[in-house]
Amino acid sequence: MTGGATDIKSLDLPGIERALAALGQPRFRVRQLVRWLYARGVAGFDEMTDLPGALRSELAERFTLGRLSLSAREVSADGTRKYLWELPDKTTVESVGIPSGDRLTVCFSTQAGCAMGCTFCATGQDGLTRSLLPGEMVDQVLGAAADMNARVSNAVAMGQGEPFANYDATLGALRFMNSPDGLEIGARHLTVSTCGLLPGIRRFSAEPEQFTLAVSLHSAVQSTRDVLMPGVARYPLDQLREALATYGVRTGRRPTLEFALVAGSNDSDSELKALIAFCRGMLCHVNLIPVNPVTGSDARRPDDARVRAFASALTSAGIECTIRTERGVDISAACGQLRQRHRA
Ligand code: SAH
Ligand code: SF4
């Protein structure tokens, strides 16, 4: 790798526009460069054959071109593939490719580690290593597409990390994924899952694209949620509900509420009642997820009958709901586990 200190993967689209303008380049070079980076995914500036040689050298002087390298991969009997990528500074992140019919969904990480400390989550256990650059997120999706030799139809920021704790980079990445010069994934097929950082939800509601929002609720009872998700205890549930209702009104979209069922914690009748009250009168879709047991956490899932009882009570109350079907159960069940296992 040659040249300057800045990784070109740190730039979002306006950043690339500024960098090329500073080099006195015409506007059409922006699209050429973005295509080399995020449609073709080249390894170096010298491969960008439709850029003039002088520009390739100038780019190589000013920028490095960071690449992900594959450090582990697991392939499930159902076709799901998990990837552990090593970043240029040797930190590692996970992503998952999930084929389904003619669709391919890639779940990517937005941070290495996470500062939010949710008790049932493998990623939350060791805190945050660092936030990822926009290009490091896009490259996870490109890497999975190349490995699976398929077009990616959906990408979800549901891997490691809290996307809204890395808001600008995440939005920058979504825009490259959405771009006709990048991965060309429709905005509605790009989903961000947040643990409920309200400033992020409010900003997201006002973005011009139709990106999809999912929020990890996990309990509509404040005291339970504070225990399960200590990192968001400062954002009260009534304000979360208001922010979600505003998202629905502003965008006309139905946010998904993720609810990981943990036996003896959030699976009681009173929890169910609170969940129904939270959802009533608001556009939303509840996704029930029997919690995946992870090392270092004693969270266990309720039995199937309890999960189905939750689902049917929600449906009877007129609340749209699904039970998440598990994929890749024979590999590392939950995000963060592959990374956890490969640590010395
Ligand atoms: N930080 C974001 C996105 C990454 S986590 C968030 O929390 O929303 C993606 C989803 O996986 C979240 O809904 C999270 O709560 C859930 N999750 C984490 N650990 C889990 C586990 N062990 N079992 C089931 N779901 C889990
Ligand atoms: Fe972070 Fe999401 Fe895990 Fe919570 S569930 S620790 S917010 S990655």
For the cut 90, the answer to whether the pLDDT of residue 335 exceeds it is: no
For the cut 60, the answer to whether the pLDDT of residue 336 exceeds it is: no
Please indicate, yes or no, whether residues 142 and 77 belong to a single structural domain of this protein. Answer: yes
Region 90-109 average pLDDT = 96
Confidence of residue 330 (pLDDT cuts 50, 70, 90): confident
The predicted pLDDT at position 2 comes to: 44
Please indicate, yes or no, whether residues 187 and 323 belong to a single structural domain of this protein. Answer: yes
* This prediction's pTM: 0.95
Q: What is the mean pLDDT of the chain?
A: 94
The CATH number given to whatever domain includes residue 28 is 1.10.150.530
Is residue 1 domain-resident? no
Residue nearest to atom 12 of ligand 1 (CA): 216
Q: What count of Cα atoms within 13 Å lies in the side-chain half-sphere of residue 290? A: 17
* Cβ of 152 below 6 Å from ligand 1: no
Percent of the residues in the chain that have a pLDDT greater than 90, as a whole number: 90
214 CA to centre of ligand 1 in angstroms = 11
The CATH number given to whatever domain includes residue 270 is 3.20.20.70
The predicted pLDDT at position 176 comes to: 98
Q: Which ligand is nearest to the CA of 297?
A: 1
pLDDT tens digit sequence for 42-79: 999 999 999 999 999 999 999 999 999 999 999 999 99
Structure-token pair, residue 31: 């699209």
Please indicate, yes or no, whether residues 167 and 82 belong to a single structural domain of this protein. Answer: yes
Please indicate, yes or no, whether residues 168 and 261 belong to a single structural domain of this protein. Answer: yes
Q: Which residue, among 252, 260, 170, 160, has the nearest Cα to 205 in the 3D structure?
A: 252
pLDDT tens digit sequence for 263-273: 999 999 999 99
320 CA to centre of ligand 1 in angstroms = 20
Please indicate, yes or no, whether residues 320 and 283 belong to a single structural domain of this protein. Answer: yes
Structural domain that includes position 37:
6-64
Region 305-323 average pLDDT = 97
For the cut 70, the answer to whether the pLDDT of residue 341 exceeds it is: no
The predicted pLDDT at position 328 comes to: 78
Q: Which phi and psi (to 5°) does residue 73 adopt?
A: -145, 140
Residue nearest to atom 4 of ligand 1 (CA): 158
* Cβ of 124 below 6 Å from ligand 2: yes
- Domain limit, last residue, from 64, 81, 101: 64
Confidence of residue 286 (pLDDT cuts 50, 70, 90): very high
Among the listed ranges 68-77, 82-91, 155-164, 331-340, which one has the minimum average pLDDT value?
A: 331-340
Is residue 189 domain-resident? yes
Q: Which ligand is nearest to the CA of 257?
A: 1
Sequence-separated (6 or more) residues with CB below 8 Å from residue 135: 7, 8, 9, 10, 11, 37, 38, 66, 173, 176
pLDDT tens digit sequence for 201-259: 999 999 999 999 999 999 999 999 999 999 999 999 999 999 999 999 999 999 999 99
Active site members = 94, 335
Looking at residue 5, the DSSP 8-state letter turns out to be S
Please indicate, yes or no, whether residues 175 and 324 belong to a single structural domain of this protein. Answer: yes
* Cβ of 96 below 6 Å from ligand 2: no
Is residue 169 domain-resident? yes
For the cut 50, the answer to whether the pLDDT of residue 313 exceeds it is: yes
- Domain limit, last residue, from 64, 88, 112: 64
Percent of the residues in the chain that have a pLDDT greater than 70, as a whole number: 95
Among the listed ranges 134-138, 171-175, 333-337, which one has the minimum average pLDDT value?
A: 333-337
Q: Is 128 helix (H, G, I), strand (E, B) or coil?
A: strand
19 vs 79: CA distance, rounded Å: 41
Please indicate, yes or no, whether residues 34 and 164 belong to a single structural domain of this protein. Answer: no
* Cβ of 267 below 6 Å from ligand 1: no
Ligand 1 atom closest to residue 193's alpha carbon, by position in its atom list: 8
Please indicate, yes or no, whether residues 276 and 128 belong to a single structural domain of this protein. Answer: yes
Beta carbons of 282 and 248 less than 8 angstroms apart: yes
- Domain limit, last residue, from 64, 80, 110: 64
For the cut 50, the answer to whether the pLDDT of residue 3 exceeds it is: no
